[in-house]
């Protein structure tokens, strides 16, 4: 005759295995971050050293230099832009020179942002005007096309460079 203990042990084992399975489902569920509290930080696994950005250079007479936060621009300097990144992205570049209103300088035409590749030189050059104030360049990077002129959303990475003028 069977002992009632074996039945209880089998039932306890089934209960323990069920609890472990339920716990595994709960723990293994992927975490989806809230875009309001965790803004876009780029593609998963991407290198921060090669993250999306712009290399901005300025030309003064015959001299070409990289633009950095300590640079001071003058009227007549010309800016040019090169894409930096770890893969193709969609890009919009906005420009504000002193008191002049902000404008979209890339893309030159079109309703949506174009795809650009790392190392690509943008087909624009921007002269610096004589108005007083600072120069502000904002680059909006995204993984999908977006309307030109639309405000940045949680899926858009906005990078702004502010440079003083003489």
- Across the range 31-46, mean pLDDT stands at 61
For the ranges 20-29, 81-90, 135-144, which has the lowest average pLDDT?
A: 20-29
pLDDT value, residue 39: 59
- How far is it, in rounded angstroms, from Cα 139 to Cα 107? 11
- The predicted-structure confidence for 42-91, as pLDDT tens digits, reads as follows 555 555 556 678 999 999 989 999 988 888 999 999 999 999 988 899 99
Q: Average pLDDT of the chain?
A: 85
Distance CA 109, CA 122 (A): 13
Distances (CA, A) of 41 to 12, 53, 113, 142: 47, 12, 19, 10
Q: Which two tokens stand for residue 98?
A: 């002193």
DSSP-assigned letter for residue 114: P
Alpha-carbon distance 163 to 166, whole Å? 10
Whole-number pLDDT of residue 60: 93
CB 67 within 8 A of CB 54: no
Beta bridge partners of 104: 94
* Calpha distance 137→54 (Å, rounded): 10
Rg (alpha carbons) of the chain, rounded to whole number: 27
- Quick one: pLDDT at residue 73? 92
Q: What is the DSSP string of 117-149?
A: -TTPEEEEEEE--S-SSEEEEEEEEESS--BTT
Q: Is 15 exposed, middle or buried (0-12, 13-18, 19+ CB in 10 A)?
A: exposed
pLDDT score of 4: 65
The whole-number pLDDT of residue 16 equals: 93
pTM: 0.70
Residue 50: per-residue pLDDT: 60
Of 106, 58, 107, 55, which is closest to residue 84 (Cα–Cα)? 55
Could you read off the pLDDT of 140-161 as tens digits, one per residue? 999 999 999 999 888 898 999 9
């Amino acid at each position: 005759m069977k002992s009632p203990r074996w039945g209880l042990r089998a039932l306890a084992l089934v209960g323990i295995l069920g609890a472990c399975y339920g716990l595994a489902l709960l723990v293994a569920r992927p975490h989806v971050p809230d875009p309001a509290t965790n803004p876009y930080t780029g593609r998963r696994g991407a290198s921060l050293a090669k993250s999306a950005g712009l290399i901005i250079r300025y030309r003064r007479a015959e001299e070409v230099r990289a633009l950095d936060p300590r640079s001071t621009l003058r009227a007549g300097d010309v800016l040019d832009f090169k894409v930096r990144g770890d893969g193709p992205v969609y890009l919009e570049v906005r420009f504000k020179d002193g008191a002049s209103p902000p404008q979209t300088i890339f893309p030159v035409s079109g309703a949506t942002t174009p795809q650009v590749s790392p190392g690509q030189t943008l087909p624009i050059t921007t002269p610096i005007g004589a108005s007083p104030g600072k120069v502000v360049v904002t680059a909006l990077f995204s993984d999908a096309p977006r309307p030109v002129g639309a405000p940045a959303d949680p899926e858009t990475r906005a990078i702004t460079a502010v440079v003083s003028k003489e």
